[in-house]
Amino acid sequence: MTHYDAILLSSFGGPEGQDDVIPFLRNVTAGRGIPDERLEEVAHHYRHFGGVSPINEQNRQLKAALEAELAARGIDLPVYWGNRNWAPYFGDVVREAEANGHTELLGLVTSAYTSYSGVGQYREDFEKATDGTGVSIDRIREYFDHPGFVQPFVEGVTDAIASLGAEGVAPERIHVMYVTHSIPTAAAVASGPDFGGGGAYVAQHLAVASVINEAAAPASPWSLSYQSRSGDPRTPWLEPDINDAIAELAAGGLTDAIVIVPFGFVSDHMEVMWDLDNEAVETAGEHGLKVRRAPTPGVHPAYVAGLVDLVLERVNDVPDAERPHLTDLGPWPDHARIRSGEEVADVSASAPSSPGAAAR
């Protein structure tokens, strides 16, 4: 048994009004040289929705759902919620937890895959937030292939195929488009060089897409594409962009409909609402393709229960052999504990490769 006092639900954060938008974007891009045109472009996405990202409300709901699930199972662990880029900030939350006597936190991060944004940057956030305090933070493993994360996508794709079928589209003419956040190709490689050209990041996505498609749409072709690239246009990022991929499918003549599956994300936040429900859906329409978009896990009961299972697995020191995982890349290894003033091993971009890891 490993002792924890509380859970730290850890997320990205988002603006909650027009006045928040620019300060939020400055927080997100601090020191990373995102061109001003791109910032304005992104600000426009938020402005269109009153300056409000849905992500904070989604995290409030997830926190409430986790509390209900923990209570139903008789587990006495309070849930704190903190963000990287907007209030409640990690630093404030860690101090609040410490003031309440909670010093051994278990981090549940709203990011399922291995990347700098989803892993290394949270580690840096946790190091900063615990600095000079008596608080330590562990985080649960990447859960991209945990049944609780995968199940909502399986249901969403199954429903989408059925709904298109009801309109007379044969499964063979439906292309399932698994889509995730593009990252610089160098960052992808750095996520785990032992996993092939796209690193652990791409390998994890390919493995999970294959599992979802096998379960939900075995007669439909599928592919992986990317969204929301930013940064300097001369820097290579993962491709193809979903909009280019849609045009290509339409030109190929074998596709009547697409199902968009945003399986890189855990909730329907701004990147989903704008880049997919707005842009990609419009692109599909321009090319005469029918389109469905599968939901992200959100507060799906299987996802909430799965997160609590991941907490218990860590509390109970469950051995790897007994940890649920749906691809042969998993179960992904745990991370070192973050404790103020202690050196930790560099897990910024990657985790140790597991012997069963297949390079793709």
Extract the annotated binding site: 53, 122, 181, 271
The neighbour count for residue 68, using CB atoms within 10 Å, is: 12
Closest contact distance (angstroms) between CB of 196 and ligand HT9 is 18
ω into 240 cis (within 30 of 0): yes
Q: Does 34 bind ligand HT9 (CB under 6 A)?
A: yes
Closest contact distance (angstroms) between CB of 278 and ligand HT9 is 13
Q: List the one residue from 94, 209, 270, 291 that touches ligand HT9 (CB under 6 A).
A: 270
* Per-residue binding letters, 233-252, with ligand HT9 (x by CB under 6 A): --------------------
Which of 182, 187, 63 is CA-nearest to residue 120? Answer: 187
* Per-residue binding letters, 278-297, with ligand HT9 (x by CB under 6 A): --------------------
Closest contact distance (angstroms) between CB of 283 and ligand HT9 is 18
Q: Does 227 bind ligand HT9 (CB under 6 A)?
A: no
Between 28 and 247, CB nearer to ligand HT9 = 28
Q: Does 29 bind ligand HT9 (CB under 6 A)?
A: yes
Q: Does 205 bind ligand HT9 (CB under 6 A)?
A: no
Sign, CA torsion 105/109/112/116 = negative
Q: List the one residue from 28, 247, 299, 302 that touches ligand HT9 (CB under 6 A).
A: 28
* Per-residue binding letters, 93-112, with ligand HT9 (x by CB under 6 A): ------------------x-
Q: Does 22 bind ligand HT9 (CB under 6 A)?
A: no
Between 28 and 299, CB nearer to ligand HT9 = 28
Binding residue count for ligand HT9, defined by CB under 6 A: 24
Closest contact distance (angstroms) between CB of 54 and ligand HT9 is 6
Closest contact distance (angstroms) between CB of 252 and ligand HT9 is 28
Q: Does 120 bind ligand HT9 (CB under 6 A)?
A: no
Between 41 and 214, CB nearer to ligand HT9 = 41
Sheet holding 290-293, edge to edge: 222-227, 174-181, 257-261, 290-293
Sheet holding 79-83, edge to edge: 79-83, 6-11, 104-109, 136-139, 338-339
Q: Does 224 bind ligand HT9 (CB under 6 A)?
A: no
Q: Are 334 and 141 in contact (CB under 8 A)?
A: yes
Closest contact distance (angstroms) between CB of 15 and ligand HT9 is 7
Q: Measure the CA–CA gap between 151 and 297, rounded to whole angstroms.
A: 8
Closest contact distance (angstroms) between CB of 249 and ligand HT9 is 24
Q: Measure the CA–CA gap between 155 and 144, rounded to whole angstroms.
A: 16
CA distance to 155, 177, 270, per residue, from 244 (Å): 27, 12, 21
Q: Are 217 and 157 in contact (CB under 8 A)?
A: yes
- Interface ranges with ligand HT9 (CB under 6 A): 12, 14, 25, 28-29, 32, 34, 38, 42, 53, 55, 111, 115, 117-118, 181, 183, 228, 230-231, 264, 269-271
